[in-house]
Amino acid sequence: MNKKEPDRSRAAATAFDPGGPSAGGGIFGLPCDESSARLIYLPVPWEATTSYGGGTSGGPAAILRAGAQIDLYDGDVEKPYEAGLFMLPEDPKVRRRARAAKKSARAVISALEAGKPAPARALAAANEAGRFLNDWVYSRTAAILDGGKVPALVGGDHSAPYGAIRAALKRYPDLGVLHFDAHHDLRQAYEGFTWSHASIAFNLLSRLPLSKMVQVGIRDFSEEEAALARGMEGRCEVFYDRDIRRAVFEGRPFAATARAIAAALPRDVWVSFDIDGLDPRLCPSTGTPVPGGLDFAEANYILGEVCRSGRRVIGFDLCEVCPAGEGEWDGNVGARMLYKLSAWTLASRGLARTFDRGRLKK
């Protein structure tokens, strides 16, 4: 459906029609304010350590633009918008620090590519910027949780959610992380960057008291990362893309794999969703696309199975959506995945109704 651009002056004077044109300039075109929303999106336009494709700092804005085209009535969770969805404005301070950090990181990466030692000052500046971001995200996420609302971080590169998961763990110490990605992200200080986007899983598991991480869709990784995942004594359980595909090829229903993924998680869950966990035809401009991966419907089914299993999603992040290239396909898919993540999260908290089970209990 091709909706018209929102007429903000007229929308203010008319009642909200969820099936009509976008009613406001908020996320998904919703006329919702922060105080009435149950789910708050924190945009983090950050990309400092990316060394291949670039542009993921534009992800939050691209998703905001594309979201106005989404029909709000959902085939799985009926009316998730009724709980109230609100995206905070981007903080200019974060963008400024991101630009400076990327400049420093670029100097390091260029030196390494030329076979030279990393310039110490530039490396220190990039790592300090990562610490700034972690503290900034932590304080903003903690404030959302303290307000009794559901936090959802919208990146940016995949280093962004560390502070958010740290804040969630402080309140939910038995929290587990469901990590969708093409990559393990278990590299220690990749290219010298402590807070690299390729190190988010390593940092979560080594620096925080995280009892369980379940990784899904992994298909591009180093030998060291695979060995580290195997050696974590159950703290890191991996559903490799090759194994998911093999099970399907050999006749095992995908639903059985989805149930096994959900069963591996504790009751309280944070979902960390790198968009490159999907088949790259759905996210061709993401920084490090890898052939294979989940179809949109498969990812949605797994999220639904987590909800149906009785798990409670405390919060989530969606990262690495990159609007570079022609058209708005990446932003479109990113916005639709954000809506599905939001819908299943709200349903798992008893804040939205599913078609198959009604309103789920908390």
* Confidence check: pLDDT of 20 > 80: no
187-91-176-126 Cα dihedral, nearest 10 degrees: 20
pLDDT over 90 (residue 13): no
Which pLDDT does position 3 carry in this prediction?
Answer: 45
Mean pLDDT of 71-98: 95
Q: What is the mean pLDDT of the chain?
A: 91
pLDDT value of residue 1? 40
Distances (CA, A) of 203 to 160, 189, 223, 265, 344: 12, 9, 18, 19, 27
pLDDT at position 188 is 95
The answer, yes or no, to whether residue 181 has pLDDT greater than 60, is yes
- Please give the pLDDT value at position 142: 98
Distance between CA atoms of residues 272 and 220, nearest Å: 17
pLDDT, tens digit, 9 for 90 and up, residues 104-126: 999 999 999 999 999 999 999 99
Chain segment 194-228, per-residue pLDDT in tens: 999 999 999 999 999 999 999 999 999 999 999 99
pLDDT reported for residue 356: 72
Coil, strand, or helix at residue 180?
Answer: strand
pLDDT (tens digit, 9 = 90+) per residue, 263-279?
Answer: 999 999 999 999 999 99
CB 316 within 8 A of CB 271: yes
Q: Percentage of residues in the chain with pLDDT exceeding 90?
A: 84
Mean per-residue pLDDT for 69-89? 95
How far CA 267 is from CA of 204, 264, 348, in Å, comes to 18, 10, 11
Given a contact cutoff of 8 angstroms between Cβ atoms, the answer to whether 315 and 270 are in contact is yes
pTM of the model: 0.92
What is the predicted pLDDT for the residue at 207? Answer: 97
Average of per-residue pLDDT across 85-105? 94
The pLDDT, as a whole number, for residue 12 is 40
Two tokens at 292? 């294979």
Interstrand relation of 358-359 and 268-274 (parallel, antiparallel or unpaired):
unpaired
Residue 306, pLDDT > 50, answer yes
**What was the pLDDT predicted at 25?**
75
Q: Which residue has the higher pLDDT, 21 or 251?
A: 251
As a whole number of angstroms, the distance between CA 335 and CA 62 comes to 8
- For the cut 50, the answer to whether the pLDDT of residue 5 exceeds it is no
Determine the Cα–Cα distance for residues 160 and 287; give it in Å rounded to an integer. Answer: 15
Which of the four pLDDT bands, split at 50, 70 and 90, describes residue 171? very high
Cβ–Cβ under 8 Å, residues 139 and 111: no
Is residue 358 scored above 70 in pLDDT? no
